[in-house]
Structure 1
Amino acid sequence: MDKLKIGVVGAGFIGQVHLEILSTFPDVQIAGVMDVEKGRAKAVAERFNAKVYDDLKQMREAGVDAVYITSPNRTHFDYAMQALELGFNVFCEKPMTVSLKDALELEKKVKEKGVVFQVGHNRRFAYVYKFMKQKIEEGQVKPLSFQIKMNRGELLNPPWTSDRNYTGGFLFESTIHLFDMVRWLLGEIEEMYVLGKKSVYPDIDDWAIAMRLKNGLIGTFTSCAHASWMIPFERVEVYGEHNMLMNEEMEKVHFCKGLGKEVESHDFMKVDFKEKWGYVEENRLFIDCVKEKKAPPVAVSDGVAVIRIIDACYKAVESGNAHVRMEG
């Protein structure tokens, strides 16, 4: 079996999560690791029997087929553009970029190069959200409205999390995943009324958004960065006609089947987070797409769409014009 040679750019926590999964695939060879911290790069490379590289060009010359970009948010665009110019297939962790301008430029480059480019919106493969998607697609719940929240307990650890120059802004952190869930589970956004303020941190850390989707659904979306990790800090509630779906983070999911009827619940607390959070499946699909030269399940266009939503939210608050009509 010819093994696909993989390189990883960024050997921090999420980079190592992907490496741990890839190391279990019999058709993958972890070929190289890059990181600005040379000591960490060396330690991680040794752990996975890989080489340390100084740049992407060296990786390409060594025959690496695809790269994972798991470095800090603001570096994603530059690394992705370099990788595409060199002809790599690319898995780019979220956020794909931290600006809409860069996202559109990256999308153009992906189309020009014709390689596989997958964005790391792992919630699409998480057990709880796949269950909700299935019930909606089967017609067991026909969504009429929704409530979504994605809170964070603090922006203190790691210390750079509250620095918008580093992250692109609070919405580009975990909150971006649930903007993607709006699109994937419920539909495209038509208009929003966006409120945000700085309550504790230098970044805008409180958000309240009313949404109307193109299919007529209405709902609310809130995100707070100083909620002290009160569980559940991630939740999607979808309301049908006297039935509903609800998750408690990526640990539990509930399906209320109707008035006076049972609630079907699934508890994934004991399942390894790499599996239940969707990381294993998204990695397997990326490798298969590269080998088979087919379109990935989370495309560059999906990355652009969610960044367009975030861009609109920041512009609404910063301009004082809360009402937003989405393009397209």
Structure 2
Amino acid sequence: MMRLNVGLIGVGRLGRVYARDLSSRIAHTRLVAVADTNENLAREVAAEFDVPRSYGAPAKLIEDAGVDAVVIVSPTHTHRDLVVAALKAKKPTFCEKPPALSLAEAMEMANAEKQTGTFFQMGFMRRFDPGYASAKRQVEEGRIGRPVVFKATSRDPFPPSLAYADPKSSGGIFIDMGIHDFDLARWFMGDVARVQAVGAVLAFPELATVGDRDNVIATLTFADGRLGVVDLTRNGFYGYDISTDLLGTEGTIRVGYIRETPVLLMTKNSVAHDTVPYFMERFERAYTLQLENFAENVLKGRKAPVTIQDGVEALRVAVAATRACDTGQRVEVSSIVT
């Protein structure tokens, strides 16, 4: 069996999960190097997953002749430089969402892919979730007729740290959190033409100190006139709640669940169950499947199912939503060029 020698950049919370999957859960990959600006952490993760080499400088990993492909899970503000460097080094590259903090940076990444001809795959793991993948197939089969309304809800059970929530680091709630929903909106319904949005700091006043919000709602008008709504919250205290409704002319598809295990606690006047704790529990399988898909695409010479252009356009919608929320005005998505 052919195996892809992978180098992983970024070994924080999600990066450690990727290290586990690339080293032990995916038959087609061999994790040969990890890198993180926290060199001690890189060494620790390398030891934990029996990875031969670790680096404190990501550039060293990209230069490593033993690395065939690069997976980037570092903070968003580092994506542009790392992706461009990996593509110029002719190393097939996978990058976690969002592609960048600004559209201009994302376009630089797209230009680098075009100029180098190097394989690139964008990380939008919800497309690989069995539930969302099934919904996509059923829509394409015409099971609900023509979808006319897209409605997505994403509720985090707690807010991120202030350092992470700072738009200078994460891009803000629409870009960091909402980009998954905007990608799904485009995947199911096509291009978004215009956006209106509202938002506020309602649960965590400290978020206002860094310029972020904890509750936002965006309404979408697609290019063909169909409609969409995306609502995001940082205070879904009861659990991690991700759901999507597709309302069609002949039926509706709903994707999502909140119950984690098939256990009910039944006491007097009460029936209770647990809830999904957070994103890794809800999308654990999806993360593995998308990395498996990346490796197989590279080894078999297949095209990427999720492209840098998908990342660019989802980011364009997220930036439009942010601008609409900031100004209180409807924003044409095509007007977002930086």
- Same fold by TM (over 0.5)? yes
Give TM-score, length-normalised by structure 1: 0.86
The farther-off stretch of 57-66 and 82-91 is 57-66
- Evaluate the alpha carbon distance shift between residue 250 and residue 98 of structure 1 in structure 2; reply closer, same or farther with a 3 A threshold: farther
Please say if residues 6 and 31 of structure 1, whose CA atoms lie closer than 8 Å, have aligned partners that are also in contact.
Answer: yes
Give 1:161's aligned residue: 164
- Report deviation, 1:317: 2.6
Give 1:34's aligned residue: 35
Give 2:4's aligned residue: 4
**Quick one: which amino acid aligns to residue 150 of structure 1?**
S
- Report deviation, 1:273: 4.4
Give 1:211's aligned residue: 220
What is the alpha-carbon distance in structure 2 between the residues aligned to residue 206 and residue 27 of structure 1?
41
Confirm whether residue 303 of structure 1 aligns to residue 311 of structure 2.
Answer: yes
**Quick one: which amino acid aligns to residue 329 of structure 2?**
A
- Evaluate the alpha carbon distance shift between residue 73 and residue 249 of structure 1 in structure 2; reply closer, same or farther with a 3 A threshold: farther
Q: How many residues align?
A: 308
Give 1:323's aligned residue: 330
- Report deviation, 1:326: 2.3
Confirm whether residue 19 of structure 1 aligns to residue 19 of structure 2.
Answer: yes
Give 2:272's aligned residue: none
Give 2:300's aligned residue: 292
How big is each residue's C-alpha offset from its partner over 1:240-297, in whole Å with a ceiling of 9 and x where there is no partner? Answer: 2362111235879xxxxxxxxxxxxxxx99xx94876412221111111211333211
Tell me, what secondary structure is at the counterpart of 1:297? coil
The farther-off stretch of 34-43 and 193-202 is 193-202
1:76-155 equivalence runs, <5 A: 76-142=79-145, 143-155=147-159
Tell me, what secondary structure is at the counterpart of 2:229? strand
The farther-off stretch of 114-123 and 210-219 is 210-219
What is the alpha-carbon distance in structure 2 between the residues aligned to residue 71 and residue 238 of structure 1?
33
What is the alpha-carbon distance in structure 2 between the residues aligned to residue 308 and residue 211 of structure 1?
13
Please say if residues 148 and 220 of structure 1, whose CA atoms lie closer than 8 Å, have aligned partners that are also in contact.
Answer: yes
Please say if residues 151 and 244 of structure 2, whose CA atoms lie closer than 8 Å, have aligned partners that are also in contact.
Answer: yes
- Evaluate the alpha carbon distance shift between residue 274 and residue 249 of structure 1 in structure 2; reply closer, same or farther with a 3 A threshold: closer
- Report deviation, 1:108: 0.5
What is the alpha-carbon distance in structure 1 between the residues aligned to residue 37 and residue 303 of structure 2?
31
Please say if residues 194 and 324 of structure 1, whose CA atoms lie closer than 8 Å, have aligned partners that are also in contact.
Answer: no
- Report deviation, 1:18: 1.7
What is the alpha-carbon distance in structure 2 between the residues aligned to residue 221 and residue 68 of structure 1?
29
Give 1:256's aligned residue: none
Confirm whether residue 238 of structure 1 aligns to residue 275 of structure 2.
Answer: no
How big is each residue's C-alpha offset from its partner over 1:96-133, in whole Å with a ceiling of 9 and x where there is no partner? Answer: 11111101111001111111111110000101111211
What is the alpha-carbon distance in structure 1 between the residues aligned to residue 243 and residue 217 of structure 2?
15
What is the alpha-carbon distance in structure 1 between the residues aligned to residue 284 and residue 43 of structure 2?
30
- Report deviation, 1:146: 2.9
Tell me, what secondary structure is at the counterpart of 2:43? helix
Confirm whether residue 58 of structure 1 aligns to residue 60 of structure 2.
Answer: yes
What is the alpha-carbon distance in structure 2 between the residues aligned to residue 251 and residue 105 of structure 1?
41
Please say if residues 127 and 250 of structure 1, whose CA atoms lie closer than 8 Å, have aligned partners that are also in contact.
Answer: no
The farther-off stretch of 276-285 and 297-306 is 276-285
1:164-243 equivalence runs, <5 A: 164-199=167-202, 200=205, 201-202=207-208, 203-225=212-234, 227-231=235-239, 233-241=241-249, 243=251
**Quick one: which amino acid aligns to residue 82 of structure 2?**
Y
Tell me, what secondary structure is at the counterpart of 1:278? helix
How big is each residue's C-alpha offset from its partner over 1:123-154, in whole Å with a ceiling of 9 and x where there is no partner? Answer: 00101111211211110112122322112233
What is the alpha-carbon distance in structure 2 between the residues aligned to residue 40 and residue 185 of structure 1?
39
Unaligned runs of 5+ in 1: 253-267
What is the alpha-carbon distance in structure 1 between the residues aligned to residue 167 and residue 158 of structure 2?
14
Runs of 4+ in 1 over 4 A off after TM superposition: 249-252, 272-277
Confirm whether residue 314 of structure 1 aligns to residue 322 of structure 2.
Answer: yes
Give TM-score, length-normalised by structure 2: 0.83
